[in-house]
Structure 1
Amino acid sequence: MSPSDDAKEASDGARRRRRRSNTLLLVLAVGFLIFGAAAGALYYVLRPVTLRIAVGPPGSDDHKVIEAMARTFASESRTVRLSLVTTDGAVEALGLLGAGNADLAVGRGDLEMPADAQTVAIVRKNFAVLWAPSELAEKSSKRKPVPKIQEIGGLAGHRVGVIGRTPANAALLRVILSASGVDADKVAETQFGTDQIEELARDPTLDAFMAVGPLDSKITADAIAATVRSRGEPKFLAIDASEAIALKYPRYESEEIPPSVFNANPAWPDDKVETVSVSHLIMARKALSETTAAAFFRQLFAVRQAIASQVPGAAHVTKPDTEKDTGLPVHRGAAAVIDGTERTFLDKYGDYFWFALLLLSGIGSAGAWLRHYFNRDERQENTKHRATILAMVSKVRTAESDQELLAMQREVDAIISETLECYDDGAIEEEELSAFSLVLELFNHALVERRAALRANTPESARGAATGNSFTSQR
């Protein structure tokens, strides 16, 4: 081979090695990219989720419960955090939920809800309590005072004092009146703030009173006690149409007020009283992911006792009934936990894992094909080298001198060096190297045989043979 041919082959070999190096770097880059994407996806799935929860007004029972919930979540949860959004009231909180500015909101069940609002948990149940005063007995009278109003039907033409300024309480009173056969327009109502209990009790224009709250509500108990001091013993008004109300308005439930719940001696009430209840709910939009809603629900009931130790009202937090039609569906995430149908991690993401395995398998196959494609020149070169060595075998057997044999051996040594580099780089396989070894072994045998033949034909060998023959003849 000429020096120019040697230089050309060296340049081609260097170029092929650079291409193999670039291919390896490309494969490494793709591998790092896949690893980074998998790590990012894992972080995204396992990262703590912060949910914005709207609640109001400040200082209300709901606000206190959610504040304690947020603190407890922050200290005990690695899954869910709560970011408190304080509003002027439940209406505003639900408005933020509907506008997408909050992930959760606390609202009363009979308020106007966003179209896609769903229930996650019940914060508490509020019971409607209606009572009329008996009026204080005169000292000279021996007769026990009789309440002016004995039943809901007797409220027509009278005024009712409603505790709580929310329009929902007044709306609930009108629902109760209508269902009980009373023209709501013939009953006047006056609303008082929860800090105006004494003013309500002393108002002589009021003939009955209404409170809406939990059965252990201090506000309701204080209001009853205040009216007793000012107006005499209470007569609790049963809502006989409670079941009809619950059927017509699914967001209300038919309930009973147990005896002595507001006072033990004397008993207020002295017997059970039919009424209706309405729940304060933690609501979420339907779009909130099932996984996130389930995580929040599990965490809430896991730490409920810890929250109740800070705010007793948290003891009223309960699970919604997934089988009862309340007009507000239970969010699928909460329902899955309640019904025990929550999917496991593999159930949720198993398809993605299989897809990832298929993708990796495809990438591996593509990488192998690319490697095979980029190494095609090396394989062709290896085949060419084998053919070259085979052709040299014939030349070796007809070589006339050691110099010719040495030149061919040097050429084969260069081929061996390049072939081993290709093998080390993965350009050729072990089977191809084995085939190359067979050809090389054939060349070496031919080389040894030819050198032996050439040495046998040298003049020194001929003279030695002649001397031996002469010595034999003399003997």
Structure 2
Amino acid sequence: MGISDMFSRPALDPAKTPGTLTPRSRKSKALLIVIAAVLATVAAVGGATYYMTRAVHLRIAVGPPNSDDVKVIQSITQMFSRDRSYVRLRPIVTEGATASAASLTAGTTDLAVVRGDLDLPKNAQAVASIRKNFAVLWVPGAHRKGSITKIEQLAGKRIGVIGRTPANVNLLKVILTQSGVNFDKVQTVQFSTTGFAEAVKNEKIDAFLAVGPLNSKITSDAIAVTAKDKKVTFLSIDTADAIAQKYPAYDSGEIPAGTFGANPARPDDKIDTITFAHHIVARSSLSEATVGALTRQLFAIRQSIQNEFPLSAKLETPDTDKDAAIPAHPGAAAYVDGEEKTFLDKYSDYIWGSLMALSALGSAGAWFASYLRKDERVTNSSLRERLLQMLSAARKSTSMEELDAMQAEADEIMTNTLHCFEDGAIEEGSLTAFSIALEQFHNAVADRKAFLLQMPETPTRTPRPHVA
């Protein structure tokens, strides 16, 4: 095959050459890649936003029905919902503090409102104190000869306990036993907190016990109903310090003079007693971040709750000491001690992990993009070799038509190469090398055309006549 035959073949058509991407196909593929990347980014940002801002719903056990504790928790629930807080509450009403504690043990609730003097579940940890309760012992009537003035004199007497919960009877037992009174020697009669005035009329009761906040309306009303001749004798619990030492759930405290009335003053002087708290407790397995957020939300609305329930709500932070009767949940303790983790503290590992993942995805994307451009690079490489072949052939060509055909083919090769460069299939250095080769080719074509134009035409020789 001669040189002219080799270069007389038709020019390469990128649209028909296998593996060659046309401008339209290149743009379509690039558009698909961009759309996929945008969708992946939107999905990742949306997922992260949902994860960070989604509300966490916690079930909280509280009882008995219609009690002040239930009303307080319902109000807190409404405030959290109104403020669109991160942590939301879902109250589960139980028969009382004992049943609430049992639900926490069973794992049917995440939180519970319980008395601090109950046998609490081992997995219960304090989030907040909802109020402090005071034990109040009194005897109807004023001091008279033979009347009861000390707890030690309650042996063989009938004592009325306000509230149906067994926990109040257990509390009375602790007080009497520590004061030297055999609990088996006394008779207890329990009264409901509602309808107390009617129930006590037909009962002969020597003393009463009520448990609640200092400003408890139930306690004040019970004292007023049982007062004889408007006189009441309050019994001081002189063993309060000893009880507090022996039973970690209790603290010693004082009831100031005039707490339950000013005219006459009830009591007329301060008296010693024991106190304990009602707590909001959480399962120890509950997330530290979730409990920390819950504690922060509770104390953000504390003033509003106390204004709404001045007689039954006084939110206090939990005891964070290691020897506390109810250990504080680590999330609540971090809030109280000012050690709550910042956003970066909580999510730095996730952030760095995400950056590493994005870096890996970027590398994978770059490899994939390079893989998609592989055919373009192979085709362009073959076209570049074709240009070099034409450069050599142009210097030996003897036909103007052949030179024009090669020049047209070179123009198509140039178009294809520029498209490859725009798509990133070849680098700038390769484009520069191609430009040099193309310039040399055009120079060679121009020189060869000039040479062919200067060559004289070969004259036509007349044949000699044949001589016989």
CA shift at 1:349, angstroms?
1.1
Amino acid at match of 1:311: F
Post-superposition shift, 1:111? 2.2
Shift in Å at residue 342 of structure 1? 0.8
Partner amino acid for 2:424? Answer: G
Alignment counterpart, residue 332 of structure 1, candidates 330, 340, 352:
330
Give the aligned partner of residue 471 of structure 1. Answer: none
Instruction: Map 1:40-439 to 2 at 5 A.
Output: 40-134=47-141, 145-146=144-145, 148-199=147-198, 201-202=200-201, 205-229=204-228, 233-313=231-311, 315-323=313-321, 325-439=323-437
Distance 1:408 1:19 in 2: 26
Instruction: State the AA in 2 paired with 1:51.
Output: L
Conserved? CA contact 2:14–2:20, under 8 Å: no
Q: 1:257 to 1:458 in 2, by over 3 A?
A: farther
SS of structure 2 residue aligned to 1:11: coil
Q: CA deviation at 1:254?
A: 1.3
Separation (CA, whole Å) in 2 of partners of 1:35 and 1:7: 37
Looking at structure 2, the residues matched to 17 and 77 of structure 1 have their Cα atoms a distance apart, in angstroms, of 50
Where 2:228 maps in the other structure, the secondary structure is helix
Matched residue SS, 2:20? helix
Give a deviation string over 1:311-347, Cα, whole Å, max 9, x none: 3235522222223733211122222221111111121
Counterpart amino acid of residue 83 in structure 2: E
Q: How many angstroms does 1:130 deviate by? A: 1.1
Deviation at 1:193, TM superposition (A): 0.7
Distance, in Å, in 1 between the alignment partners of 2:384 and 2:165 is: 96
What is the TM-score of this pair, normalised by structure 2? 0.88
54-63 or 8-17: bigger deviation: 8-17
Instruction: Name the residue aligned to 1:472.
Output: none
CA offsets 1:432-470 (integer angstroms, 9 cap, x no match) = 21111111111111111111111111439x9xxxxxxxx
Give the letter aligned to residue 280 of structure 2: I
- The structure-2 alpha-carbon separation of the partners of 1:107 and 1:334, relative to structure 1 and needing over 3 Å to count, comes to same
Residue pair 1:133, 1:147 contacting (<8 A) in 2 also: no
Q: CA deviation at 1:44?
A: 2.0
Q: Secondary structure at the match of 2:265?
A: coil
Relative distance call for 1:65 and 1:211 in structure 2 (3 A) is: same
Letter matched to residue 384 of structure 2: R
| CA distance 1:358–1:269, shift in 2 (3 Å) | same
Q: Partner of 2:466 in structure 1?
A: none
Which amino acid in 2 is paired with 1:85? I
Post-superposition offset of 1:171: 0.8
Give the Å deviation of 1:8.
Answer: 9.5
Q: Which runs of 5+ in 1 are unaligned?
A: 136-143, 463-475
What code does the residue aligned with 1:220 have? Answer: T
- Given residue 194 of structure 1, which amino acid in structure 2 is its aligned partner? T
Partner of 2:4: none
Question: For structure 2, which runs of at least 5 residues remain unmatched after alignment?
Answer: 1-6, 460-468
Question: Does structure 2 retain, via aligned residues, the 8 Å contact 1:134–1:235?
Answer: yes
Residues in 1 aligned to 2:370 and 2:289: alpha-carbon distance in whole angstroms = 45
Distance 1:351 1:100, change over 3 A: same
Deviation, structure 1 residue 22 = 5.0
Q: Secondary structure at the match of 1:385?
A: helix
Distance 2:94 2:240 in 1: 32
User: Secondary structure, in 3 states, of the residue corresponding to 1:317?
Assistant: coil
More helix per residue: 1
Aligned partner letter, 1:227: T
Check the 8 A contact 1:105/1:283 in 2, yes or no. Answer: yes
Moved more, 311-320 or 18-27: 18-27
Asked which structure has the greater RCO (Cα within 8 Å, sep 6+), the reply is 2
Deviations 1:57-97 (CA, angstroms, capped at 9, x unpaired): 22211112122222223333443333332222222223333
Look up the equivalent residue of 2:192 and give its one-letter code.
G
Report deviation, 1:407. 2.1
Give RMSD over aligned pairs: 2.8
CA contact (8 A) 1:65 1:313 kept: no
In structure 1, what is the equivalent of residue 463 of structure 2? Answer: none
Is the deviation greater in 53-62 or in 67-76? Answer: 67-76
The more displaced of 314-323 and 58-67 is: 314-323
Which stretch of the first structure deviates more once superposed, 394-403 or 428-437? Answer: 428-437
Instruction: State whether residues 378 and 427 of structure 1, in contact with CA within 8 Å, keep that contact through their aligned partners in structure 2.
Output: yes
Distance in 2 of aligned mates of 1:345 and 1:187: 59
Deviations 1:98-155 (A, max 9, x none): 33333322121122323211111111111111122346xxxxxxxx623532322222
Give the C-alpha shift of residue 23 in structure 1.
7.3
SS state of the match for residue 74, structure 2?
helix
Q: Kindly tell me: are residues 161 and 395 of structure 1, through their superposed partners in 2, closer, same or farther at Cα, counting changes over 3 Å?
A: same
Does the 8 Å contact 1:201/1:223 carry over to 2? no
Change in 2 beyond 3 A, CA 1:77/1:381? closer
Q: Which amino acid is the alignment partner of residue 121 of structure 2?
A: P
Task: Give the number of aligned pairs.
Answer: 452
Change (3 A) 1:61 1:34: same
Aligned pair in 2 of structure 1 residues 200, 224: CA closer, same or farther (>3 Å)? farther
Which residue is equivalent to 2:464? none
